[in-house]
Amino acid sequence: MGRLIVVSNRVALPSGTKSPGGLAVGVYDALRDSGGIWLGWNGETAADADADQALSTVTQDNITYATFPLAARDYDRYYRGFSNAVLWPVFHYRADLSRYRRADYDGYLQVNRAFVRRLAPLLRPDDVIWVHDYHLLALGGFCREQGIRNRIGFFLHIPFPTAEVFKAIPPHHALAQAMCAYDVVGFQTASDARAFSDYCVQHLGAEREASGVHVADRRVRIGTYPIGIDVDGVAAMARAKRSRQVAALKSGLEHRKLVISVDRLDYSKGLLERFAAFEQLLESAPAHRGRVSFVQLAPPSRSDVQGYREIRRELDRAAGRINGKWGELGWAPLRYINRAYERATLMPLLRAAQVGLVTPLRDGMNLVAKEYIAAQPPDDPGVLVLSQFAGAACEMEEGALIVNPYDTEGMADSLDRALHMPLAERIARYERLMQGLRLHDLAAWKDRFLADLRSSAKPGVTTKLPTLPA
């Protein structure tokens, strides 16, 4: 069996100090047992003349991390530009925030080509390549153009929009063609997979098949692979000795109940709507005043992008208004914190909360929802309030309180219900959710995707393949 080669925009080096995101945790655990290579950007920028330097490699725990910097120009066009000013907003159904420039798209293609140039010398004929997320939609097409005939799979961690929304991206046709160069294309939910399949049928002339589509003399498997978590690992981390930060939080709460949210600072997460719902709770249910605190952890994300600076200012104003209106000398209703915490600190924080409030406007999966449940004490678990627009809602609707994040009063009502929920109901909901978490854990995600990829037909040298613009 060939090695596993993972390619992602960013590589989380083992010596890093930042708390890794869901993609990094998932990729690391996928490689941890089998070993292999993880290729991607090291998070640093370099002068244009220095960016083509040789790969830097380090091997630890059977994983070789192969990383490189991006040229400053490529960072602006590929990362800040097309990836995060076009693909991210459109894929999250915010085409109104998209800012398309041809130069950014050219930069996106150039960097995808550069990834392939660095990948090709590392490959052996039987290696299996697993490409991750929206930054690298075009990589499969360039691999085929370079004559790479290994099995290549692609997994999208964020939502895939309906065909009509996807068409808001001017080069949508070329991008979809490039995605069809992969052997397996995986999504978080069935609706995401259906949206991509529908686009291929409607706009690429593909024929729908039981396992995917037949397009340009290629059979592309399209599947749903909901990413999970290491349930026992999260639970153990949550039970660990409390950190100084957790002790300080518990001390400050006294006997108040805690509602907690953990998100990157991003307009897709619905933070403003969440603040409004908490304020509505204080307005409509006076009994909670002085008896519940809401902690929102929102570490900065892409702070060099204008839209993210604006959302931070809006949240600062909203938090100040809520605390100014409802706060008392001994009680601040809302604690809004713009910093990242290590997972070893976050999991005990989640365990300490009576309510986990996870209400994105749109999300591919949202692993915080799953981590919140896994972190709970089985004999006195908290309640998950979850947006219907998070991918996790497909799996957690029988145990979580599902809400519409655009319905302020409805969210406030669900918060009130969660804070008053009897112990027996909380335990029953927790046990149903834990069954689902174990059924669709991180190992199941990895094993199902890689089994489908390894069983796919190996591309032949005569296969007709879609091409991208030069």
pLDDT at residue 245, as a whole number:
78
pLDDT at residue 463, as a whole number:
46
CATH class of 4-228+444-455: alpha beta
pLDDT at residue 461, as a whole number:
46
pLDDT at residue 460, as a whole number:
57
Per-residue pLDDT of the chain (470 residues; tens, 9 = 90+): 789 999 999 998 776 545 455 667 777 877 887 889 999 999 999 876 555 667 899 999 889 999 999 999 999 999 999 999 999 999 999 999 999 999 999 999 999 999 999 999 999 999 999 999 999 999 999 999 999 999 999 999 999 999 999 999 999 999 999 999 999 999 999 999 999 999 999 999 999 999 999 998 899 999 999 999 999 999 999 998 777 778 888 777 878 999 999 999 999 999 999 999 999 999 999 999 999 999 999 998 766 666 677 888 999 999 999 999 999 999 999 999 998 888 889 999 999 999 999 999 999 999 999 999 999 999 999 999 999 999 999 999 999 999 999 999 999 999 999 999 999 999 999 999 999 999 999 999 999 999 999 998 877 544 454 556 54
Q: Which residue has the tokens 């068409």?
A: 167
Residue spans of the domains in the chain: they are: 4-228+444-455, 231-439
Has 203 been annotated as catalytic?
no
C-alpha 6/C-alpha 9 separation (Å) is 10
CATH class of 231-439: alpha beta
Same fold across 4-228+444-455 and 231-439: yes
The catalytic residue among 127, 192, 363, 452 is: 363
Edge-first strand listing for the sheet containing 207-209: 56-60, 63-71, 36-46, 4-10, 128-132, 151-155, 184-187, 218-224, 212-215, 207-209
Q: What angle do CA 222, 227, 231 make, to 5 degrees?
A: 155
Has 416 been annotated as catalytic?
no
Edge-first strand listing for the sheet containing 292-297: 334-337, 292-297, 257-262, 355-358, 383-387, 401-403
Nearest of 360, 425, 346, 429 to residue 392 by alpha carbon: 360
C-alpha 163/C-alpha 204 separation (Å) is 11
The catalytic residue among 135, 157, 288, 440 is: 157
